[in-house]
Amino acid sequence: MKMATNQRIAGIRWGARLCARIVIVWAFCIWVVQLSIASAQEPITTPEPGAVVDTSAVSDDAVNAVAASLYCPVCENIPLDVCPTEACIQWREEIRIQLAEGQSEQQIITNFVDRYGDRVVGVPEDPLLRGLSLITPWLIGAVVLVAGVSILIRWRRGQRGTLATTTGTVSTLDDEASYRARLESDLIKRR
């Protein structure tokens, strides 16, 4: 009894250590991704305010190409390029002006994020949030995969001793001949 309790405590400790390690790896990955994104971001150049720009050369398609990666602030989760509300029409006009001023797509997006926060883009621009969003699902996937493989390996080890008993259950249905034979015998049984 006491042994079982000790074993259980050891198991819990082992589990806790494993969880802690996973969390550390998680945090480390996010940190690395954050650093790499942060160093890759260009500084923003804002053009002179007040100047009137001619937007006639900017096509709707060019505006929508930028707007597709932005999200409307009012109607949540609707991409800006397809939202019919007044607010979104204004935002698209703003994009048109900024394009006419010669800003790049990334600059315009960064500009909107600076003013309204990371909720206006489909994947956060902020390095920490971006890392958190994109790293976590892959890490969870990796943990699941490692767990799956380790369970497979444990089964394998556990089974080396008890092999003889299980061989009877193996079937090789996909062989054409045996498949047909089995089908026929089933048919006879059911008739």
Partner 1 sequence: MLAEIGLVTIFLAFVAAVYATGAAVLGGQRGSERLVISARNAAIAVFPLLLIATAAMLIALIQQQYQLTYVASVTDPATPLFYRITALWGAQKGSLLFWSVLMSAFTAAAIAMNWRSNHRLMPYVIAYSSAVMAFFIGLVFFFEHPFDRWWWVNSPEGIRAIESMFIPAGAITPPYEWLATEKAHGLNPLLRHFGMIIHPPMLYLGFVGFTIPFAFAMAALASGDLSTNWIKATRRWTLISWIFLTLGLILGGRWAYDVLGWGGYWGWDPVENAAFLPWLIGTAFLHSVMMQEKRGILKVWNMFLVIGTFSAVMFGTFATRSGLIDSVHAFARSPVGMPMFLFWAAITLISIGLILYRWNRGELKDEHQYFDFSQRGNLKVLFSREVLFVFNNIVFVALFVVIFWGSFGAPVITELFLGEEITLGSQYFLQVTPPLFAVMYILMGIAPLSAWGVTSMVRLGRSLVVPLILTAVFMIVFVLGGMASPLALFAYFIVSLAGFVALYEIYRGAAARRTSLNEDWLTALRAVFGRNRRRYGGYIVHLGVTVVGIGVIGSTMFQQETTRTLGRGEVMDFGNYSMRYDHFTEAIAEDGRQMEIADVTVFQQGQEVARLRPRFDVYPDMPMTIAGAHSTLEADYYVLLSGWVEQGRLATFKVYINPLVNLIWWGSLILMLGTFIAAWPAQQVEYTPARAPVAARRQEASA
Nearer to partner 1, 47 or 183 (CB): 183
Tell whether residue 137 is a contact of partner 1 (CB under 8 A). yes
CA distances 1 to 4, 5, 6, 92, 112, Å, are: 5, 6, 9, 71, 64
Helix (H, G, I), strand (E, B) or coil at 134: helix
Q: Shortest distance, CB of residue 51 to partner 1, whole angstroms?
A: 26
Written as one letter, the residue type at 89 is I
Helix (H, G, I), strand (E, B) or coil at 142: helix
Q: Shortest distance, CB of residue 43 to partner 1, whole angstroms?
A: 22
CA distances 67 to 62, 79, 87, Å, are: 9, 7, 13
Site string for partner 1, 150-169 (x = CB under 8 A): --x--xx--xx-xx-xxx-x
Nearer to partner 1, 83 or 103 (CB): 83
Other CB atoms within 10 A of residue 7 CB: 10
Nearer to partner 1, 88 or 107 (CB): 88
Q: Shortest distance, CB of residue 103 to partner 1, whole angstroms?
A: 20
Dist. CA 87–CA 82, nearest whole Å: 12
Tell whether residue 180 is a contact of partner 1 (CB under 8 A). yes
Tell whether residue 133 is a contact of partner 1 (CB under 8 A). yes
N-to-C CA span, the chain:
57
Tell whether residue 119 is a contact of partner 1 (CB under 8 A). yes
Taking the CA atoms of the chain, what radius of gyration do you get in angstroms?
Answer: 30
Tell whether residue 78 is a contact of partner 1 (CB under 8 A). yes
Binding site for partner 1 (CB under 8 A): 59-61, 64, 69, 71, 75-79, 82, 84-85, 117-124, 126, 128-129, 132-134, 136-138, 140-141, 144-145, 148, 152, 155-156, 159-160, 162-163, 165-167, 169-175, 179-180, 183-184, 186-187, 189-190
